[in-house]
Amino acid sequence: MVRRKNIRLRGKIQFSEYFKSLKNDDTVAVKKEVSVVSNFPERLQGRTGTVKGKRGRAYVVKVRDQGKEKEYLIEPIHLKKLSQENQK
């Protein structure tokens, strides 16, 4: 798990990543932004899931966790949209 940013990127947050919009049924990967405090479990780092909706400024992401479907509220800065080519 990445605990530290590159020295040139430390302290920087891209506003386009923070305010990006995702649609329902988009496939996303969970990638923790270390410079922003998050409230989701560390075991979600690197997992993929689908967006099921939006609550406030966070997205409801359905992830398969330990053999069960679970829904997590994750802010968009911690999500990376996967293209259709990556899903095949």
**Would you kindly state where each structural domain of the chain is located, as residue ranges?**
15-87
- Count Cα neighbours of 7 within 13 Å in the Cβ-side half-sphere: 0
Residue 86 to residue 72: CA distance in whole angstroms: 22
Q: List pLDDT tens digits, range 29-80.
A: 999 888 887 777 888 889 999 999 999 999 999 999 888 999 999 999 999 9
Do residues 30 and 49 make contact, with C-beta atoms less than 8 angstroms apart?
yes
Confidence at residue 86, expressed as pLDDT on a 0 to 100 scale: 56
Asked whether the whole model's pTM tops 0.95, one would answer: no
Residue 56 to residue 67: CA distance in whole angstroms: 28
CATH of domain 15-87: 2.30.30.70
Q: Is 84 helix (H, G, I), strand (E, B) or coil?
A: helix
Backbone φ and ψ for 80, nearest 5 degrees, come out as: -125, 120
Q: pLDDT class for 2, splitting at 50, 70, 90?
A: low
